[in-house]
Amino acid sequence: MRLPAFVFLRSQPRRVRVVAITVLVAAAATVPSFASAPTLSFATIVLIYVGLAVSLDLVWGYTGILSLGHAAFFGLGAYTVGLAARGGAPPQLAVLAPLAFFGGIVAGIVIGTFLFAGRRVMTIIYVAIATLALSFIAERSLAVWHYVGASTGISGLPLPRLLGWRIVTPNDFYLLALGFAVLSYAVCRAVVSSPLRMVLTGIRVNEQRLQFLGYRTARFKVTVFAVSGGIAAVSGAIYAAVLGFASPTFFGIALSTLAMIWVLVGGPGTLLGPALGVVLVQYGSRVLSDRLLGWWQVALGVLLLLVVLFFRHGLAGLLRREAVLELPGEGRAR
């Protein structure tokens, strides 16, 4: 039986992707030479956000876990740096970044075990509401905890260092952010390029079927959740180090929702999609907030609504040749 040629094609061949990314990174590295100061700091923030975006894609786009409060990990990382500074520790990122990563992993294991362990498959809405509630609790708790500065947070963080390199100028911050963006992406890419991707897809598409095949799916989910949490935490740590402060809003729903928008606009389950989604959405927000002032928040909501209704697979979905992509809880999609 002959099948049309297109069904044999999977996602873009690896070579194309590697070339595309190399070009992107090279282009990104040249930005400091021509960008104005505000543009450079904007680009720095965008690059930091990329870490959060790809971590969410890993846990949601690939594994189907809807974490509505993912920014909580981001906040955790930020406060790790903040607390270290408060405690008088030197702002040595070579120590603080792994520490944040470790903190994110531990938090991910604890929360993940709580959410996923056991034989019952928890429904999407349960995970969504539970993660929402937990991030809510985190934000509120920190907003009243005086040791960490309550709602003002921790500010006046010292300029960071990475081993011997003192990170002082905007160019330095940019390169730091670029480095960690590439690193976060690389880690996520390594995970989803490995055969583990098959299991994660199975969990996303039909977890119960996987259990009927004998899998202890909870282990996989907790692991991915933890790794994702670790990456998000490192992004938060870099964010705090670059901005010089940590605030409870870093844990909040606003940032979590924004992260979801990045992933959806870019295309869940593609890694590169969400990374580009950050750039697109943040750039769009920047432009819009100049024109529309406060109404850009509304515009963002409208964007999310339109994407959900009509462009479920995001930008990547428009470009991808792969004809089948099942989103969690949705069954088949064209």
Partner 1 sequence: MSLQSIFAILSFTSILVLLTLGLGVIAGMMRIFNLAHGEFVLLGAATVYVASVAGAPVWVGILLAPVVLAVFGAIVERTIVARLYGRPLSAILATWALALIIRGVVLQLLGQTTRSVPYPIRGSVSVFGASIATWRLIIVMTTVVVAVLFLIALYHSSLGLKARAVLENAELATVSGLPIRRLYTGVFALGSALAGLAGAMIVPLSSLYSELGVTYLVRSFLALMVGGIGTFEGAVAGAGIVGGMESASSFYIEPVASGILAFGVSVLIMRFRPQGIRGRTT
Partner 2 sequence: MTATLECRSVSKRYGPLRALDRVSMQLEPGEVRGLIGPNGSGKSTLLRIIGGAEQASGGDIWFEGRRIDRFSAARRSRLGIAMKFQIPSVFGSLSVLENVVVALGRGIGILRWLSGRPTVERREAERLLELVGLSDVKDVHAAHLSHGQQQWLEIAMATSVRPRLLLLDEPTAGMSPDERLATEKILRVVAEQAASIIVEHDIDFVRRISDTITVLHLGHMVGEGTPDEVRELPQVRRAYLGGVV
Q: Which of 19, 143, 146 is nearest to 86 (CA)?
A: 146
Which residue of 25, 168, 298, 319 would you call a contact of partner 1, by CB under 8 A?
298
> In the set 210, 233, 237, 265, which binds partner 2 (CB under 8 A)?
210
Q: Which of 7, 16, 98, 123 binds partner 1 (CB under 8 A)?
A: 123
Partner from partner 2, partner 1, none binding residue 136, C-beta < 5-8 Å depending on class: partner 1
Q: Phi and psi (nearest 5°) for 317?
A: -65, -30
Answer for the pair 238, 97: CB distance below 8 angstroms, yes or no: yes
In whole angstroms, give the CA distance from residue 142 to residue 45: 23
Q: Which does residue 132 bind out of partner 1, partner 2, none, counting CB within 5 to 8 angstroms by kind?
A: partner 1
Handedness of CA 19, 226, 260, 181 (dihedral sign): negative
Q: Specify the residue, 37 or 213, whose C-beta has the smaller distance to partner 2.
A: 213
Q: Record the tokens describing residue 258, joined without a space.
A: 């924004």
- Following CA atoms 206, 318, 189, 286 in sequence, which dihedral angle do they give, to the nearest 10 degrees? -120
Q: How far apart are alpha carbons 81 and 97 in whole angstroms?
A: 8
**Interface characters, 216-255, with partner 1 (x: CB under 8 A):** -------------------------------------x--
134 binds, among partner 1, partner 2, none (CB under 5 to 8 A by kind): partner 1
Tell me whether residue 8 or residue 310 sits nearer to partner 2 (CB atom). Answer: 8
Binding span for partner 1 by CB under 8 A among 11-19, 178-186, 192-200, 292-300: 292-300
Written as six digits, the tokens of 153 are 């947070």
Residue 246 backbone phi and psi in degrees, to 5: -135, 130
Stretch that binds partner 1, among 20-28, 222-230, 293-301, 314-322 (CB under 8 A): 293-301
Q: Which does 76 bind (CB under 5 to 8 A by kind): partner 1, partner 2, none?
A: none
Q: Please tell me the distance from the alpha carbon of residue 80 to that of residue 104, in angstroms, as a whole number.
A: 10
**Conformation bin of residue 201: beta by default, left when phi > 0, alpha when psi is -120 to 50:** alpha
Residue 123 engages partner 2 in binding (rule: CB under 8 A): no
Identify the three-state secondary structure at position 246: strand
Binding site for partner 1 (CB under 8 A): 66, 68, 114-115, 120, 122-126, 128-130, 132-134, 136-137, 140-141, 143-144, 253, 257, 260, 264, 294-295, 297-298, 300-302, 304-305, 308-309, 312, 327-330
